[in-house]
Amino acid sequence: MSKERIDLMFQTLKEKNEKAFVAYIMAGDGGLLTLRDNIQFLQESGVSLVELGIPFSDPVADGPTIQEAGLRALREGTTLKKVLNEIASFRESIEIPIVIMTYMNPVYAYGVEQFANDCELAGIDGLIIPDVPMEEEAIIHPYLKEKQIALIRLVTLTSPLERIKAIAEGTEGFLYAVTVTGTTGERSQIHENLGGYLQKLKEISPAPVLAGFGISTHEQVKGIGGLCDGVIVGSKIVDSLHFGKHEEIIKLINPEKTLVQ
């Protein structure tokens, strides 16, 4: 099914006049055996897509909360291969798309072609690699394209207009709009130019635009989501899962819904 599952998700949301809610979680945080239950819980809570982080010792885009989750996962012995094997074991029971967020080093160590093959076997729908610029995508994109796995590109508030156009034109699945200047993490305020930035991306991008980084309250989810096609929430969800505060995740997605015991 691969990236078709992402396209179908957005099509269904558009028909319902709803926005996408993407939840980022760290694979292996709490042990790999929690992964299935966590994704199942997020699906039942109304999450549209799961962005699954792969723990890495030298992250460049992750703030403190996700860095700490990555370190916990590494201490649990989590590896990229173990994650893919675990997903493959339960993928048929999950309906929503799963996108992997990793850095290039673990993929190199894995073997790029083998990685793409195993992603296909595990039912991975897309890939986000923050440290691979557009100019270097040839090292992995052909292998993903062969397997119909979306390569999702990121743009930032500081990206020049011509570069934004080039990135948006080539993105697959959706365009990941970074909404802060810095790393991931909860923010109390949004950037003053965010509205204009997201509007411009919507005008330029042929793919849906999702906003991520720094979104941690339902008000931000509604406000920022109203400016584009949906939001990506990471640090708040990672923290809530770590401390067993599932009710907070429910409230973040839909405050009117209560946790079913």
**Predicted local distance difference test score (pLDDT) of residue 3:** 79
Res 90 pLDDT > 60 = yes
Domains of the chain in sequence order: 4-152+216-253 (3.20.20.70)
Total number of residues shown for the chain: 261
Res 148 pLDDT > 70 = yes
- 91-114: per-residue pLDDT in tens? 999 999 999 999 999 999 999 999
Residue 39 corresponds to which amino acid? Answer: I
Q: Which residues contact 76 (CB under 8 A, 6 or more apart)?
A: 28, 29, 30, 31, 32
- Provide the H-helix boundaries in 17-136: 35-44, 64-75, 80-90, 104-110, 112-122
SS3 content of the chain, % helix, strand, coil (to 5): 50, 15, 40
Q: Give the bridge partners for 201, in sequence order.
A: none
Res 188 pLDDT > 50 = no
Percent above pLDDT 70 for the chain: 92
pTM for this predicted structure: 0.92
**CA 195/CA 217 separation, integer angstroms:** 17
**CA 103/CA 211 separation, integer angstroms:** 20
- 17-27: per-residue pLDDT in tens? 999 999 999 99
**Catalytic site residues?**
51, 62
- 29-44: per-residue pLDDT in tens? 999 999 999 999 999 9
The residue-averaged pLDDT of 181-189 equals 47
Question: Regarding beta strands 126-128 and 98-101, do their DSSP bridges make them parallel or antiparallel, or are they unpaired?
Answer: parallel
Name the 3-class secondary structure at 133. Answer: coil
Angle made by CA atoms 201, 203, 206, in degrees to the nearest 5: 85
Q: Where are the beta strands (DSSP E) in 49-115?
A: 49-53, 98-101
Say which range, 6-15, 103-112, 122-131, 252-261, has the weakest mean pLDDT: 252-261
**Predicted local distance difference test score (pLDDT) of residue 190:** 52
**CA 115/CA 16 separation, integer angstroms:** 35
